[in-house]
Structure 1
Amino acid sequence: MQDREDPGVHVLSLSVEHGGREFTVSPTAVETERGLVLIDAGPQGAVGSLHVHLESLGYELEDVWLVVLTHHDADHAGALATLLERTDAVVAAHRAETPFVTGERDPLKGSEDDDRYPPVSVDFELAGGVRIPTLAGPMEVLETPGHTPGHVSIYFPEGELLVAGDALVADGDESLSGPKPEYTPEMDRALESVADLAELEIEHTICHHGGYAAAGTDRIREILDRDRE
């Protein structure tokens, strides 16, 4: 992570092509006594870049034992099938996201012309308050719906670190902005989730879009006040 060292938490910023355009996404790897937890896998085609990043940290893909999905969008879950071909990892997602990941339902934001990513099984269903032990302290699942029905964010209380998924976006100046209305079907609900995040002690944030931001609770409250006007 840039500007601050949080032992055991690593931002894996990947330049990828998805939907005919190139952009950067930021899955997060978290060290545990069992190996790595990967928060989001990225879109299809991302596994090679994930492998390179993990090798630079002294790990292999096979060290990933758990993938935690913040939600089912293709830029978060599209690489899962390929990743699971190369690892014995298990997959965890909120129960409201499970049918989209497993293929029972089509992703909410795909068009009829899109080829959906290969479906995979979900081994564990997440709920708010679930905690997973890591070398960075417990990582806690927060229910932050709005962007999708079962969107979750991940909170590390000991480091006052939030992994926001798409509940927030990191700007180029290392600040934060709120959920993007054009990609957020239930904006009112998403702002309720931002309000929940504003109650936490957060010093810094990792977003899937934009990566690391040296901003937390104060900035989240500013976002909430502005977007509710």
Structure 2
Amino acid sequence: MMKPHNILFSAVLALCLPASHAALHPDQALIAAPPMSLFQGWNAPIEPFEIYPQVYYVGTDNLSSILFDTGKGLVLIDSGIDASAPQIKANIAKLGFEISEVKYLLNSHARLDQAGGFAQLKAWSGAKLVASAANAEMLANGAAEDFALGDQLRFPPVQADIIVGDGDAIRLGKLRFTAHLTPGHLPGATSWSTEVGSLWHKQKVVYADSLFTGGYSLLNNKNYPNIVSDMRHTFATLNGLQADIFLANKADRFQMKAKLAKLKAGDKHAFIDRTGLQTYVAAGQRDFEQQLSQQLHPSHP
């Protein structure tokens, strides 16, 4: 667990981070960013709802933003794109909370679709933004030097207040949020876990980061030389977690709409899914190994 003095040290460290990462390698080809229309489609509004007591979905059609009620304030994971921020704020209000009750903002990774709304949400709430060191650099420069995309998907820069390493935790009220560094999709990618429910009936919640590497150069990537070992470390890390409630930073990655339909039909445990995380990891690992094999043996069918 991250001790209080480490949190203070991390807050100071965050203020001292450089404004941008070292320049991208000129010989490393970048990939084309998805069209903005894709993000706009994902940003379609959806009504907020209770996933499980203390856990709420306040994001958009496919951009997850998860709100936790700790009893002593709120914790929000991820922020969608910059245009998602007003929706998230409105969704929090629809659930009967105030944006000023949000005390911590947690980040999975620092790209437009997970971090674009943080600057506005932080300004409205006064919350402390929590991120890994690598994510914090990208948050501070608004993704000016994404290892795969360069500056194609900029978002409003925002300063992290607390830097977390693997296994560090943030406590608020009844809940403890543990950071699990799961790099690969981005060097700073982070998954989060906590436990909700009563003393005698806890449910482990895991919010898993992306495992997608489509289009990336996996071999001899000059901007991210450790990507293959990082991805394999991430698969092992997530496989080592047991989730009762599996969530992820895109709604379709945890079958949100199908589970929501069951919830609306009266199944209060619709989001209890004790095999979802491992199914997600297995699919990600299969796709990754196939992509790696194709790059190692490009002449093979």
Deviations 1:109-161 (A, max 9, x none): 5455x462121111100111112335674221101000111111011254232
User: 1: CA distance between counterparts of 2:57 and 2:126?
Assistant: 22
Change (3 A) 1:104 1:138: closer
Unaligned 5+ residue runs, structure 2? 1-47, 196-201, 219-226, 256-272, 291-301
Q: How many Å apart are 1:210 and its aligned residue?
A: 2.1
Deviations 1:6-46 (A, max 9, x none): 3211122314xxxxxxxx20111111233111111111111
User: 1: CA distance between counterparts of 2:282 and 2:88?
Assistant: 34
Counterpart for residue 159 of structure 2: 121
**Which of the numbers 219, 222, 225 marks the counterpart of 2:279?**
219
**Contact map agreement 2:57 2:65 (CA 8 A) in 1:** yes
Q: How many Å apart are 1:218 and its aligned residue?
A: 4.2
Deviations 1:165-210 (A, max 9, x none): 324xxxxxxxxxxx34236963552243022111122233111112
Q: Which amino acid in the other structure matches residue 196 of structure 1?
A: T
Change (3 A) 1:5 1:90: closer
**Contact map agreement 2:80 2:115 (CA 8 A) in 1:** yes
Counterpart for residue 128 of structure 2: 90
Aligned pairs for 1:35-54 within 5 A: 35-54=73-92
Aligned length: 208
Work out whether 1:11 is the aligned partner of 2:57: yes
Counterpart for residue 241 of structure 2: 200
Counterpart for residue 62 of structure 1: 100
**Contact map agreement 1:146 1:190 (CA 8 A) in 2:** yes
Counterpart for residue 150 of structure 1: 188
Q: How many Å apart are 1:85 and its aligned residue?
A: 2.5
TM-score normalised by L of structure 1 = 0.77
**Contact map agreement 2:80 2:116 (CA 8 A) in 1:** yes
Q: How many Å apart are 1:65 and its aligned residue?
A: 1.3
Work out whether 1:80 is the aligned partner of 2:118: yes
Percent sequence identity over aligned pairs = 22
Change (3 A) 1:10 1:135: farther
**Contact map agreement 1:144 1:151 (CA 8 A) in 2:** yes
User: 2: CA distance between counterparts of 1:183 and 1:60?
Assistant: 40
**Contact map agreement 1:30 1:134 (CA 8 A) in 2:** no
Work out whether 1:162 is the aligned partner of 2:195: no
**Contact map agreement 2:73 2:172 (CA 8 A) in 1:** no
TM-score normalised by L of structure 2 = 0.60
**Contact map agreement 1:163 1:205 (CA 8 A) in 2:** yes
Change (3 A) 1:166 1:35: same
User: 1: CA distance between counterparts of 2:150 and 2:141?
Assistant: 15
User: 2: CA distance between counterparts of 1:101 and 1:32?
Assistant: 26
User: 2: CA distance between counterparts of 1:69 and 1:193?
Assistant: 17
Q: More helix by proportion, 1 or 2? A: 2
Counterpart for residue 182 of structure 1: 215
Change (3 A) 1:143 1:115: closer
User: 1: CA distance between counterparts of 2:229 and 2:103?
Assistant: 35
Q: Which amino acid in the other structure matches residue 151 of structure 1?
A: A
Q: Which amino acid in the other structure matches residue 140 of structure 1?
A: T
State the structure with more CA Rg.
2
RMSD over equivalenced CA pairs, Å: 2.9
